[in-house]
Homo-oligomer: A and B are copies of this chain.
Amino acid sequence: MENKKYSVLIIDDHPLITEAYKTAFDYYSKQNENITFSIDTVQDCDTSMDMINDIFKKKKVLDIVFLDIKLPPSKDGKIISGEDLGLKINKLLPNTKIIVSTTFNDNYRVHSIFKSLNPDGFLIKNDITPKELIETIDTIINDPPYYSKTVIRLLRKQVANDFLLDNIDRKILYELSIGTRMKDLPSILPLSIAGIEKRKRHLKHLFNIKSVDDRELLLVAKEKGFI
């Protein structure tokens, strides 16, 4: 079997986590003598952007990215999460495999990251042990994708209900659940207040909710796994 060297970028603002990833790669290449890794780690959006642009310009190769979603935003405020970085990577470096790794475990976020990035790996940090990390690496290299337990569970919930709600419904529910006001929604969504109200009424009808305020709606939406 021929030798292969993979180049890896780890984007995560927790040094203990990046260290754990590195350890896993080390271990893996010891078990598989023909495979080695060249690993870089970055801890914020600005440096990540610099590295991605550099790789693109110099036509270097990047095989694998581990991507945390919650990161300190860039100084100019343009890149506010790992999701934005992922979009950039998909655009500039389409052959790079992205493994999303996050603490978010609510359906809405996982779902929207899936749609926007379509990653080759998706890990919820609560799920993964050092051992599972090594399995992840193996799967990513030989037979992607790899999704961790919680992700698979959320995806299953999703499939059963997916025909009902679209992205905008989901976003409305999500925004309401974090306390956004109706009057502020038109600047977040491409819809008028009247349109949003119509959708809300539709959702309440769908879920069989009579109450006038939104608590019950959000409760049921959470229960059904939409947020």
Contacts and interface: CB of A to CB of B under 8 A. Distances in A.
23 contacts: A13-B126, A14-B17, A14-B103, A14-B125, A15-B126, A15-B128, A15-B129, A15-B130, A16-B16, A16-B20, A16-B128, A16-B129, A16-B130, A16-B133, A17-B17, A19-B20, A19-B129, A19-B130, A20-B20, A103-B103, A178-B179, A179-B179, A179-B180
Interface string A170-188: 0000000011100000000
Contacts of A17: 14, 16-17
A16 B15 CA distance: 11
Nearest to A24: B16
Contacts of A126: 13-15, 43
A14 B133 CA distance: 13
Interface string A86-110: 0000000000000000010000000
A14 B14 CA distance: 12
A126 B19 CA distance: 12
Contacts of A125: 14, 16
Closest 5 pairs between A and B when the two form their complex, measured CB to CB: A179-B179, A15-B129, A16-B20, A14-B125, A13-B126
Contacts of A103: 14, 103
Interface string A8-48: 00000111110110000000000000000000000100000
A7 B16 CA distance: 22
Interface in A116-131: 125-126, 128-130
